[in-house]
Amino acid sequence: MATFRWVGLALAAALMLLCGVARASMGLSELPATAEDGPVTVYYPSSDASQPVPRGRFVLDVAPDGRVVPGNGRLVVISHGSGGSPWVHADLARDLVEAGFIVAMPQHRADNYRDGSDPGPDSWTIRPAEVSRAIDAMGRDPRFAPLLHLDKVGVFGMSAGGHTVLSLAGGRWSPARFMRHCEQHITEDFQSCVGTITSLTGGPLDGLKKWLALQVIRHRFDDDTQRVAADPRIAAAVAGVPAAADFDMSSLATPTVPLGLVTAEQDRWLTPRFHADLVLAACKTCVRIADLPTGGHGALLSPHPPGLNGLLGDLLNDPPGFDRAEVPEVNRKIAAFFERYLEP
């Protein structure tokens, strides 16, 4: 039966080409929230015409709830960053859709653009299971399930989403490891430890800020229980500027799946030498898909959120000298990585 299924998908794709539909538009839909999980945003190949659709701060060129057409039969799940939305990776989703993938983006509980009440290790603990349940939801949906083969799924994540990816690639971490990292490097990696609550300015209050931050961290994260995650359906993973200082790097020496990384050397939120650089140094099989020497933490947000100001703007806006024209090529390289490892 599986053979006939794939023959059917191939014939459907061939008929699309014969009819002159050489390039599908990008459909946009949403799986509804459940009692346990938030909604799952879905991008996919569609035969309907695209149109400008406002979503948050953005206007996306998509076919809202357009008819689904066969692609390559593979799913890529995107795990958004802390406080993130499904719109800031729409450009990457487009490259993936044009390569034939269907893309699903679960909304991570209490750490998204609608509700940022509980970021950090609490969120990192539950995110891998949320990714797995998003795969389950895609496998139940009558529109998408017939067009997907879920034995080989890709996962991409940026920042906190990159932490999710490292977990699903076999990495072990604990809240106490995060606590010890902050105790040792609170000055050099302050934003990693406190997020966007405040920043160091070089002024007389810096000492108090660091002391208060450590009191909160020691109270919340003095837990050495190792967090591990696994989903046998995941067959390839890409982490962009990942949060990684709390991982046991020996667990990432040989990831359970092909693992690619995208790095940005001017990242001021997750100082590279404590995060992505440590993973690359430890991992024997990882591939650096791309490096952005002048890129900051928000380099992979595409489209980039307009009008960011204050500390969030300082951390996510592009540093002087960064050319955003570099991002489309990075997205194409990510899509090519998944094409390589998720072939039907």
Q: Amino acid identity, residue 332?
A: R
4 confidence band (pLDDT: 50, 70, 90): very low
pLDDT per position as a tens digit, 255-290: 999 999 999 999 999 999 999 999 999 999 999 999
Task: Provide the token pair at 148.
Answer: 């997907």
Q: What is the mean pLDDT of residues 236-243?
A: 98
Give the CA distances from residue 51 to residues 45, 47, 182, in Å, rounded to whole numbers and listed in that order: 14, 13, 46
Q: pLDDT band for position 14 (50/70/90)?
A: very low
Average pLDDT estimate for 128-154 = 98
Average pLDDT, the chain: 94
- Residue 18 pLDDT greater than 50, yes or no: no
* Percentage of the chain modeled with pLDDT above 70: 93
Determine the pLDDT at residue 10: 47
Ranges for all domains in the chain classified under CATH 3.40.50.1820: 25-174+227-341
3-state percent helix, strand, coil for the chain, nearest multiple of 5: 40, 20, 40
**What sign does the dihedral 317-322-325-330 (CA atoms) show?**
negative
Domain 25-174+227-341: which CATH class?
alpha beta
pLDDT per position as a tens digit, 291-303 = 999 999 999 999 9
Segment 54-83 shows an average pLDDT of 97
Q: Over pLDDT 90: what percentage of the chain?
A: 92
- The per-residue pLDDT for 23 is 64
Q: Is the pLDDT of residue 9 over 70?
A: no
Segment 210-226 shows an average pLDDT of 97
* Of 12-26, 71-85, 98-112, the least confident: 12-26
> What is the value of pTM for the model shown?
0.93
Exposed (0-12), middle (13-18) or buried (19+): which is 113, by Cβ within 10 Å? middle
Q: What is the pLDDT of residue 24?
A: 85
pLDDT tens for each residue of 298-323? 999 999 999 999 999 999 999 999 99
Cα-based angle 231, 116, 127 (whole degrees, multiple of 5): 5
User: Which residues, 6+ apart, have CB-to-CB distance to 96 below 8 Å?
Assistant: 43, 76, 103, 334, 335, 338
